[in-house]
Amino acid sequence: MEPKKVVTNIATSPKILSQIDLIKRATKGDKNANEEVIKRLSCYTNKAAERKEGQPGE
């Protein structure tokens, strides 16, 4: 027999929950949510590019 699956409660931070809600709203066509997602993603990609540029030896 297979072992029984155990249900565990997982605590999710409010920040993650708000991001999930934002993505759900954006996929349903909410223009404001879509713009916010784009703004957050562009901010993230800009930070990643800055980190790469600042690495020594390049």
**Which is more confident, 30 or 2?**
30
Please write down the HEC assignment for all residues of the chain.
CCCCCCCCCCCCCHHHHHHHHHHHHHHCCCHHHHHHHHHHHHHHHHHHHHHHHCCCCC
d(CA 2, CA 19): 36
What global pTM score does this model have? 0.57
In tens, the pLDDT along 12-44 reads 899 999 999 999 999 999 999 999 999 988 887
Q: Which two tokens stand for residue 20?
A: 């999930």
Residue 44, pLDDT score: 76
Residue 58, pLDDT score: 44
d(CA 44, CA 52): 13
